[in-house]
Amino acid sequence: MTVSVLLADDERLIRAGLRATLETTPDIRVVAEGENGAEAIDRARELRPDVVLMDIRMPVMDGIAATAAIADEGLGRVLVLTTFESDDLVLDALGAGASGYLLKRCPPEELIEAIRVVAAGDAVLASSVAAAVVRRLRRVPRFAQAASARIGELTPREHEILLLVAQSLSNTEIAARCSLSEGTVKTHVKHVFAKLGLRDRAQAVVFAYETGLVVPGEPPAA
């Protein structure tokens, strides 16, 4: 079986080096290249490669957005290859649907084996990246991890109330903001806590920040 690979990287020299490395391997064939995320999507739609080797930081459209589009349309499995190993980027890439995350400093044989693994339907992470994911998950309290799995159970109004609670607004302030009675707000807050398994307002605040519903310095999303 020959694995077809699409290269997506904005640096021509990097693409040339990757092509030269991969084409020494009989079972891997580079079928196309793209210098940004938008081109990667177009080439993937045309060719349906087995694996898209995706950089993160690119002009026009970055690798995270391109990964999400390729994964959503089922155009190929994405293996991220980048110089960046921050916790947020790793989780963003995996959340977008990437099947693997490697660093450009990895040995050629590791990259080649990772392409085979991803093409076979499995996932692969660089060891340092795997450690970063574990560290990030350990920082999120267990109650917040459990609550995040149930966030979809909230109604739009309950979601709005949660965001206001996360801003440390009182029930009276929330009632004024939402044109509701204080009793109605109390009921909504009670339902939010019950659905998410949160003990109190303090846990609600921690949950909202740890899971990214609220970002420090930015207005909460509606």
In terms of domains, do 21 and 116 share one? yes
Give me the pLDDT at residue 38, please: 97
Enclosing domain of residue 55: 3-138
**Type of residue numbered 186:** K
Q: What is the pLDDT of residues 68-113, one digit of tens each?
A: 999 999 999 999 999 998 877 887 888 788 988 999 999 999 999 9
Domain boundary among 111, 138, 165: 138
- C-alpha–C-alpha distance, residues 55 and 83, integer Å: 8
In terms of domains, do 177 and 113 share one? no
In terms of domains, do 169 and 121 share one? no
Higher pLDDT, 195 or 123: 195
Interval 181-193 mean pLDDT: 94
Q: Which of 60, 51, 47, 46 is CA-nearest to residue 22?
A: 51
Residue 148's pLDDT band, with cuts at 50, 70 and 90, is confident
In terms of domains, do 34 and 104 share one? yes
* Mode of pairing for the β-strands spanning 100-103 and 28-34: unpaired
Reduce the DSSP state of residue 5 to 3 states and report it. strand
Contacts of 12 (CB under 8 A, 6+ apart): 35
Higher pLDDT, 221 or 150: 150
- Which of the residue ranges 132-141, 143-152, 185-194 would you say has the lowest mean pLDDT? 132-141
- C-alpha–C-alpha distance, residues 162 and 198, integer Å: 11
Yes or no: say if 140 and 211 are a contact pair by the CB < 8 Å rule: yes
Domain boundary among 85, 103, 138: 138
In terms of domains, do 180 and 99 share one? no
The CATH number assigned to the domain holding 204 equals: 1.10.10.10
Interval 65-69 mean pLDDT: 95
Q: Would you say residue 168 has pLDDT above 80?
A: no
- C-alpha–C-alpha distance, residues 102 and 131, integer Å: 13
Yes or no: say if 163 and 171 are a contact pair by the CB < 8 Å rule: no
- C-alpha–C-alpha distance, residues 15 and 35, integer Å: 9
- C-alpha–C-alpha distance, residues 132 and 195, integer Å: 30
In terms of domains, do 68 and 114 share one? yes
Count of CA atoms in the C-beta half-sphere (13 A) of 110 = 13
Domain boundary among 123, 138, 153: 138
The CATH number assigned to the domain holding 114 equals: 3.40.50.2300
Query: What string of DSSP letters covers 130-147?
Result: HHHHHHHHHHS-HHHHHH
Instruction: Give the helix/strand (H/E) hosting 188.
Output: helix 182-196
Domains held by the chain: number: 2
